[in-house]
């Protein structure tokens, strides 16, 4: 199945557009897990319990590679164990690399092998700044999801993303709309592209949905960043009430630092799923 087909399948099966961000910062992992464990064991055990209590409520997990890289080899081994665990136990759940890669083509060939072939991710976040030619090693992977940064959720996103220039077909546009048009009209020949559009900018999310039609979006910014669920879903869903991977990280995984952390994470995931589903339109 293509990435689009796999996403539609898991969203329908679990009736969920929720993505849990496994931003497993060692400093915030509950103390009882860090006691008498190595760094790698503590990270993996934290992830394992989160996964086992939430896998039936979500469509994807999204580890941010920075938190694993920060711990050196032990962190990267924990990441690999986590991904293998998901693949073995919950093979239909998607694994998204929050890696924000994007470099010259030969470097990207190395990134694709590492992210897709070694770690086994199903999708990756990418920078568009170097253009299509540089991203060709990613774009050629027809079975993988390529999630291009478009309108990010951070407060300073507009510094560059709102810059206006003249588009040859669509007139004067901010840069984020240029990116949306380029990806939707020129880069998505293999039907494997997606866009990152933050929940913290619902009007821009609506505008990008109008450009990108049915294309899936990764939507960060719900939870700790304060994105509004109702506005996000109404602006971000496609015509089938799907096409969204709505991420929450800290608002799920770090709500409790006690021995009940995994059950609390399950409850927060369930609450978010139900909130999202209130505002989704019915599809096929």
What is the distance between the alpha carbons of residues 85 and 82, in angstroms, rounded to a whole number? 5
CB < 8 Å & 24+ apart, contacts of 82-86: 82/22, 82/43, 82/44, 82/47, 82/48, 82/51, 83/119, 83/120, 83/121, 84/120, 85/44, 85/47, 85/48, 85/51, 86/51, 86/55, 86/61
Angle at the Cα of 179 (from 173 to 184), degrees rounded to 5?
110
Angle at the Cα of 48 (from 47 to 51), degrees rounded to 5?
85
Where do we find the tokens 């949905």?
A: 209
Catalytic residue, from 12, 37, 80, 100: name it. Answer: 100
Angle at the Cα of 72 (from 130 to 25), degrees rounded to 5?
85
Active site residue 100: yes
**Residue 275: which residues within 8 A CB-CB, separation 6 or more?**
229, 230
Token digits of residue 143 = 């079975």
Kindly list the catalytic residues.
Answer: 100
């Amino acid at each position: 199945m293509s990435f689009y087909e796999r996403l539609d399948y898991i969203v329908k099966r679990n009736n969920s557009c929720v993505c849990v961000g496994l931003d497993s910062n060692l400093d915030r992992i509950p103390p009882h897990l860090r006691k008498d464990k190595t760094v790698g064991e503590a990270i993996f055990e934290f992830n394992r319990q989160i996964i086992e209590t939430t896998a039936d409520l979500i469509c994807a997990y999204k580890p941010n590679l920075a938190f694993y890289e920060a711990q050196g080899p032990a962190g990267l081994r924990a990441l690999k164990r986590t991904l293998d665990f998901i693949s073995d136990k919950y093979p239909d759940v998607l694994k998204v690399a929050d890696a924000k890669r994007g470099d010259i083509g030969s470097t990207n060939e190395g990134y694709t092998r590492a992210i897709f072939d070694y770690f086994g991710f199903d999708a990756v976040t990418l920078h568009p700044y170097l253009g299509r030619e540089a991203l060709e090693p990613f774009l050629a992977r027809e079975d993988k999801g390529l999630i291009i940064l478009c309108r990010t959720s951070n407060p300073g996103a507009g510094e560059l993303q709102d810059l206006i220039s003249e588009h040859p077909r669509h007139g004067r546009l901010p840069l984020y709309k240029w990116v949306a048009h380029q990806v939707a009209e020129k880069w998505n020949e293999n039907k494997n592209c997606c866009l990152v559009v933050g929940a913290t900018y619902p009007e821009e999310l609506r505008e990008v949905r109008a450009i990108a039609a049915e294309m899936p979006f990764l939507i960060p910014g719900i939870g700790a960043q304060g994105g509004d669920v109702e506005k996000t879903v109404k602006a971000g869903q496609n015509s089938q009430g799907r096409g969204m991977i709505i991420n929450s990280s800290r608002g799920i995984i770090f709500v409790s630092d006690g021995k009940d952390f995994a059950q609390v994470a399950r409850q927060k995931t369930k609450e978010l799923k139900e909130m999202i589903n209130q505002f989704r339109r019915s599809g096929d």
